[in-house]
C-alpha cells in the first residue's frame, strides 16, 4: 500500500504538504500558546520602564500625566486659539470682541475692524481683518503679541505704522489673517 501511494503522489507534492503542515503547526502554536504571554511580557516591560522613570525623576506618574495634558492643552490653544467652534458670523463677532477687549487691556484704541472676504485654502478658511489701532509704539506691539496668543495663528499680510501729528501716539494699520480649519462641506 505504501508503494502504491508513493507511485500516485509525487515527492514534490508530499514535501509541500509536509512543509504546510509544519507551518500551520508552528503558526497555531504561536497564536494559541505564545502570543498572549509575549504581549503581557511587553506590557510588563513598558510598565517597568515607566516606574523606573518615575524613580529617576521623582515625579509621580499621575503628575506626569497631568503635565502632558497641560502641554497638550497649550499646544491646542496655540493651534486653534481660544475661540470656541462657532458659526462663521458668530466667530467674526467673537474675534472683533476679543480684539477690542485686548486693546482696552493694553491701553490701545481700536479705531476700526473690517472683516474681509473669506477664502478657502486647502483645509483652512482664511479670515482677513483690516484693523486700525492707535497707541504708543510698545503698547501696539504688546497688543499684537496678545492678539496672536489669544486668537491662535495669525499672519500679518500688510501693515503701516504712522506717527500721529503732535503726539507720541502711532496709528497702526494692518491686515491680520486668521486661519481656521474649514468645515467639511
Tens of pLDDT, residues 123-149: 878 889 999 999 998 999 999 899 888
> Is pTM, for the whole model, over 0.85?
no
- What does pLDDT average to over the chain? 83
| pLDDT value at 20 more than 80 | yes
pLDDT of residue 184: 59
Length of the chain: 185
Instruction: For 81-112, write each residue's pLDDT tens digit.
Output: 555 566 767 778 888 888 999 999 999 999 99
| pLDDT value at 75 more than 60 | yes
Span 11-39, average pLDDT: 87
In CATH terms, 88-181 corresponds, of 3.40.50.300, 3.40.50.2300, 3.30.230.10, 3.30.70.60, to 3.30.70.60
Cα angle 41, 45, 46; round to 5:
120
pLDDT of residue 86: 66
The answer for residues whose C-beta is within 8 angstroms of residue 136's C-beta and 6 or more apart is 107, 168, 169, 170
pLDDT of residue 121: 82
| pLDDT value at 77 more than 80 | no
Amino acid at each position: 500500500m505504501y508503494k502504491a501511494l508513493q507511485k500516485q503522489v509525487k515527492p514534490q507534492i508530499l514535501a509541500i504538504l509536509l512543509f504546510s503542515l509544519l507551518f500551520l503547526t508552528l503558526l497555531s502554536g504561536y497564536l494559541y500558546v505564545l502570543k498572549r504571554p509575549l504581549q503581557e511580557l511587553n506590557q510588563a516591560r513598558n510598565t517597568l520602564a515607566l516606574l523606573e522613570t518615575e524613580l529617576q525623576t521623582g515625579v509621580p506618574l499621575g503628575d506626569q500625566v497631568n503635565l502632558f495634558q497641560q502641554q497638550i492643552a497649550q499646544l491646542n490653544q496655540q493651534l486653534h486659539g481660544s475661540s470656541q467652534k462657532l458659526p462663521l458670523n458668530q466667530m467674526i463677532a467673537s474675534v472683533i470682541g476679543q480684539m477690542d477687549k485686548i486693546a482696552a487691556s493694553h491701553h490701545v484704541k481700536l479705531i476700526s475692524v473690517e472683516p474681509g472676504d473669506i477664502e478657502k485654502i486647502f483645509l483652512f478658511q482664511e479670515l482677513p481683518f483690516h484693523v486700525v489701532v492707535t497707541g504708543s509704539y510698545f503698547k501696539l506691539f504688546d497688543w499684537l503679541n496678545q492678539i496672536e496668543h489669544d486668537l491662535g495663528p495669525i499672519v500679518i499680510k500688510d501693515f503701516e505704522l504712522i506717527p500721529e501729528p503732535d503726539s507720541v501716539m502711532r496709528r497702526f494699520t494692518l491686515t491680520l489673517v486668521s486661519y481656521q480649519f474649514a468645515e467639511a462641506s
